[in-house]
Structure 1
């Protein structure tokens, strides 16, 4: 029997979002330490159920809260995902095969996150190396979805999403190499924006990738939290190659032409729950005065999916066989990787000859993606191929060939934005009859996060997002 759980209570942060907490700290209504103490109490009460925290750093977080940063979200407690370095903490990549030593310095993105004003309370749980779209392990307890605890919280940023959705924190770091911000946002009823490539500081591993598919960001419960975070990152480092992005504070009067894509090219039609959510969104958009028209999937989608699956396998092969060097972890033991990592690595070996063509296809996707916006402002699609499954459906313990096909079908819509570098956002616009959140996905041309956020504000104002505490 599924259970809904949350950590909201009458404490220093109540049901405030990040902007609300930062404003209260700035006004002196609460202190950053009080906000941090509230989050720690919530985490200690709820994480035994969720299993969403990988590493705790509460004592240092409390000490740091005495002198909070003065960024746009100054004094707001948060967590960093376990694949990103935080000085003094290990970076274990969600894997039993990695037992890293504490990092000697922050990753560049962690520096950017701190500059926004966020305090770091520790690391969030993630599936091994981020390969899975669900935060599950072959031999460890899974991270649970607070809306329905017998269901997946998504992945790979599943721990972050579970903590934000349940009210433990208001915002948490997430990153996205194939949908790993947007997938858990959809599963847990959150706002999940994957920025344009290079909008924020690149991930540490980007320099060694033939195609940089990873974008850092956050998951939040409100559009304004995401907008404020992104604006804060631009004050730390504004990329010269992209159009400037300031603070987006609300909807626009501009009416949009929006392309509609309902089915992916995986050979599996979108399930009824995700299809119904998108069609209901079309009705809302039309009522708000926007023009929605059906469009094809951008580019040569069949070839793209084959290339992305191969690239996914290539990255797993590189980790499995060169993990000590890839992750600078002398204690890496490839005998302890899970069946998904091992299966992906074997898949690459069988198809290694496809690598040059796959990389060319992924690099070409940027141009084809841009062309898709010649006649539309945004593209609307499901975030996922089917609604959030029960735990076990995407477990690494499942036979590899079965699991791989399930993952391809589940994460059918998100990878194009990673390879092409285009921005996209998942919004919690609908729910299943039994109360599981269903995300709806919007994509924009490179650099146009502003239009995504403006429309997100409009849809949030038209019908506020469901709250887990109601």
Structure 2
């Protein structure tokens, strides 16, 4: 089998009895054993459980009958989500490795879809950094060049998929944590709309969402279908799509108005290679019949942007599930202490301002443009270790690398808008560079139609990191 095959293709091969779940599991487990010491994508492994689950899946195939969509296909879970019987250390020295007793809804949906849970992937402490780097697990490295970071916070997930250690990987996104590592690793990163994938806890003032990192648009759509099965126990959910998201892949798209934004909303400089990625995507979209034009959208005020970072996220850290908070990363301990300087009224006011301004930001979609095109990051993938070093050196200061990484992505989390990072470009030194499409409220369908139309001309599905073939 080809370890770089899509999850959809592997599931088809299982149903057609071309491949067995045991073959698939063994291939990935052997590759993890061989390649992961170099990149550090996995922080916990359950190889024997995976093999047992694969044998059970194989017996189900041989018995005949209906099979779920991804029967017998492995998927790793990011180390910030709960799975009964597995540890969840949140990438932190401050959390012990006691097995958890509950399972998060998104993981239940993977299991219902027939996936085999295969290990846990690296993340920074509490997912609060733009690179998968921590004192507990060390530095996760980019398979395209191990001197560089795969980004974060879902950096282990992206490194695993890029290196062919998994066909797809679970991820989540509170400020760009699906899209940033997808850009760094040459992958497709779809951030769903707020409420699309059921969550019992809508963290970070409802900004964090569950999702996946994939190599193909088809996988991104198919995983969104299985992840977004409604749950009557959650507080709210996104409107049902017109049709399954998988049916948007390859579906002809009517011409849309694409606003092109090349200047970072935060005012930080944007590297020319990142500008080139967005411009290339714009030209490809024009060649497909869409109107692409420069825009200067309204985003959040400086007060609310700073308030989200320092009031909302600091408070979220103060309530994080640490067993020993004194062992958290120094930059996070700084933020937990800073949270104590703000009272509940300040938090409530900031939460209200974010909601009020978000209405005005979202209103631009459908009025001024249909889709917004930007670079995914304002910088190429940073050197491995740079983000944690920057945060540790000056916990309360301005962090240029971190700000360049989140400048184009965080607005989608605060507004709840869907967005997708596509691996359309490569830097002169061979590093992947992504561009981002941001859709209107609840409009993943348009993003998937556009992304699937771009996939062939951009030709990203055949690219593989050297040395990991």
Q: TM-score, normalised by structure 1?
A: 0.90
1:440 corresponds to:
435
Q: Is the 8 A contact 2:3 2:28 kept in 1?
A: no
Q: 1:33 aligns with which of 9, 15, 22?
A: 22
1:72 corresponds to:
69
Q: 1:214 aligns with which of 202, 208, 217?
A: 208
Q: Is the 8 A contact 1:307 1:361 kept in 2?
A: no
Q: Is the 8 A contact 1:394 1:403 kept in 2?
A: no
SS of alignment partner, residue 34 of structure 2: helix
Distance in 2 of aligned mates of 1:300 and 1:234: 28
SS of alignment partner, residue 387 of structure 2: coil
Residues 1:289 and 1:123: Cα distance change in structure 2 (over 3 Å): same
Distance in 2 of aligned mates of 1:106 and 1:245: 28
Q: Is the 8 A contact 2:262 2:275 kept in 1?
A: yes
How far residue 469 of structure 1 moved from its aligned partner, in angstroms, is 4.7
How far residue 312 of structure 1 moved from its aligned partner, in angstroms, is 2.0
* Offset from partner CA, 1:310-331 (integer Å, 9 cap, x none): 2222222333xxx45xxxxxxx
SS of alignment partner, residue 68 of structure 2: coil
Q: Is 2:34 the partner of 1:45? A: yes
Q: Is 2:92 the partner of 1:95? A: yes
Q: 2:221 aligns with which of 200, 220, 227?
A: 227
Superposed, 1:256-271 pairs within 5 Å as 256-271=256-271
Superposed, 1:356-371 pairs within 5 Å as 356-371=348-363
Q: 1:333 aligns with which of 311, 324, 331?
A: 324
Q: Is 2:118 the partner of 1:121? A: yes
1:243 corresponds to:
241
Q: Is the 8 A contact 1:165 1:190 kept in 2?
A: yes
Residues 1:210 and 1:149: Cα distance change in structure 2 (over 3 Å): closer
Superposed, 1:244-393 pairs within 5 Å as 244-246=242-244, 247=246, 248-310=248-310, 311-319=312-320, 323=321, 332-350=323-341, 354-373=346-365, 374-393=367-386
Distance in 1 of aligned mates of 2:349 and 2:238: 31
Residues 1:240 and 1:264: Cα distance change in structure 2 (over 3 Å): closer
Distance in 2 of aligned mates of 1:298 and 1:242: 28
C-alpha RMSD over aligned residues: 2.1
1:4 corresponds to:
none
1:62 corresponds to:
51
Q: Is the 8 A contact 2:193 2:442 kept in 1?
A: yes
Q: Is the 8 A contact 1:264 1:297 kept in 2?
A: no
1:3 corresponds to:
none
Distance in 2 of aligned mates of 1:294 and 1:125: 38
Q: Is the 8 A contact 1:116 1:229 kept in 2?
A: no
Q: Is the 8 A contact 2:190 2:419 kept in 1?
A: yes
The gaps in structure 1 that reach 5 residues or longer are 1-11, 325-331
Q: Is the 8 A contact 2:218 2:249 kept in 1?
A: yes
Distance in 1 of aligned mates of 2:418 and 2:225: 15
**Number of corresponding residues:** 446
* Offset from partner CA, 1:240-294 (integer Å, 9 cap, x none): 6343440223142411101111112323121212112112222222222211122
Q: Is the 8 A contact 1:313 1:344 kept in 2?
A: yes
Q: Is the 8 A contact 2:330 2:392 kept in 1?
A: yes
Residues 1:93 and 1:458: Cα distance change in structure 2 (over 3 Å): same
How far residue 13 of structure 1 moved from its aligned partner, in angstroms, is 3.7
Q: Is the 8 A contact 2:197 2:229 kept in 1?
A: no
Q: Is 2:404 the partner of 1:409? A: yes
Q: Is 2:160 the partner of 1:163? A: yes
SS of alignment partner, residue 453 of structure 1: helix
Residues 1:151 and 1:312: Cα distance change in structure 2 (over 3 Å): same
SS of alignment partner, residue 205 of structure 1: coil
2:5 corresponds to:
16
Distance in 2 of aligned mates of 1:152 and 1:52: 11
SS of alignment partner, residue 441 of structure 1: strand
Q: 2:193 aligns with which of 188, 196, 204?
A: 196
How far residue 443 of structure 1 moved from its aligned partner, in angstroms, is 0.7
* Offset from partner CA, 1:361-409 (integer Å, 9 cap, x none): 2222441232011232111111112111101320143332456443123
Superposed, 1:105-120 pairs within 5 Å as 105-120=102-117
Distance in 1 of aligned mates of 2:428 and 2:299: 35
How far residue 100 of structure 1 moved from its aligned partner, in angstroms, is 4.0
2:63 corresponds to:
none
Distance in 1 of aligned mates of 2:44 and 2:438: 33
